[in-house]
């Protein structure tokens, strides 16, 4: 009868197996091979069993070469490794279940894949998922007419500086596109109450409105609010002005 002191827990490694097993040290090598055949699938007559201190060890410390001797004869202890090799793999299936190089690969060209109706791509496209989901309508950019309704020419206004704090007041004199600023977007021409501007309503030789020198400036609509803003003296921030 096996006792706890006669039982060792070792790692069994073969081309298809990596597991921890418990064996009685009184088990003969012949009996051990019969057990390992059920574990590794390698016939007992084809087995070569080497003992290693650990899985990283490259030099075996023992070869279980006598079928009649017990496992304990080879001083096997728990934690060691039994590496089982198939000395005649041509007669068995050893390694064939883990060797993917022998597996015939199924490959499709891009065109063939696109034509199939049983792929992940076809599924998500059919159900309008992911990149095939309908895109939310992008709001159209406001036109000059739209902005002119909110910021009518001739109305009093307040302009917010780029720092988001300083504000200055004046009158809206122009709403529209310009030749400066890469000719993109809509600008608001403002005549300031004081000489905080950069021009007289003209930029680069083209006039958009007329005012006193250093009273004119052009800013983007998002910085302008039209309303009841009576004149007052303010310090003008020159950022983003032309």
Choice between 13 and 4, residue whose per-residue pLDDT is larger: 13
First to last CA, the chain: 100
Q: 212 with 201: CB under 8 angstroms?
A: no
Could you tell me what percent of the chain has a pLDDT over 90?
61
pLDDT of residue 100: 60
Residue 52's CB is within 10 A of a number of other CB atoms, namely: 19
pLDDT of residue 21: 94
Q: Do the bridges between strand 62-63 and strand 187-192 make them parallel or antiparallel, or are there none, so unpaired?
A: unpaired
The edge-to-edge listing of strands for the beta sheet with 167-176 is 216-219, 187-192, 167-176, 156-160, 224-226
Residue 220's alpha-carbon distances to 146, 170, 204, 217, 224, in angstroms, are 14, 15, 18, 10, 7
Q: What's the CA gap between 188 and 53, in Å, rounded?
A: 83
Cross-strand partners of 52: 81
Cross-strand partners of 216: 191, 199
Q: What's the CA gap between 115 and 108, in Å, rounded?
A: 10
DSSP notation for 181-195: GGG-S-EEEEEESSS
Q: 52 with 12: CB under 8 angstroms?
A: no
Residue 32's CB is within 10 A of a number of other CB atoms, namely: 22
In which element (H, E) is residue 153 found? none
Model confidence at 157, pLDDT cuts 50, 70, 90, reads very high
pLDDT tens readout for residues 15-71:
889 999 999 999 999 999 999 999 999 999 999 999 999 999 999 999 999 999 999
pLDDT of residue 181: 77
Q: What's the CA gap between 199 and 187, in Å, rounded?
A: 14
Residue carrying structure tokens 């020419």: 153
């Amino acid at each position: 009868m096996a006792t706890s002191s006669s039982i060792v827990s070792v790692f069994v490694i073969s081309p298809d197996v990596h597991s921890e097993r418990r064996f009685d040290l009184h088990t003969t090598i012949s009996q051990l091979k019969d057990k390992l055949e059920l574990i590794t699938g390698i016939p007992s007559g084809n087995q070569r069993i080497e003992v290693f201190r650990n899985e990283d060890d490259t030099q075996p410390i023992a070869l279980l070469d006598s079928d009649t001797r017990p496992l304990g004869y080879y001083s096997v202890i728990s934690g060691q490794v039994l590496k089982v090799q198939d000395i005649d793999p041509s007669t068995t299936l050893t390694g064939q279940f883990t060797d993917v190089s022998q597996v015939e690969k199924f490959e499709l060209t891009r065109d063939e894949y696109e034509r199939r109706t049983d792929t992940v791509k076809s599924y998500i496209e059919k159900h309008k998922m992911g990149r095939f989901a309908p895109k939310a309508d992008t709001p159209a950019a406001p036109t000059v007419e739209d902005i002119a309704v909110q910021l009518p020419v001739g109305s009093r206004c307040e302009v917010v500086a780029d720092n988001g704090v300083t504000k200055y007041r004046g009158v809206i004199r122009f709403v529209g596109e310009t030749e400066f600023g890469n000719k993109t977007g809509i600008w608001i021409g403002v005549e300031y109450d004081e000489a905080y501007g950069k021009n007289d309503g003209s930029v680069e030789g083209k006039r958009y409105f007329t005012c006193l020198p250093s009273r004119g400036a052009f800013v983007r609509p998002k910085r302008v609010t039209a309303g009841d803003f009576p004149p007052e003296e303010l310090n003008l921030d020159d950022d983003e002005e032309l």
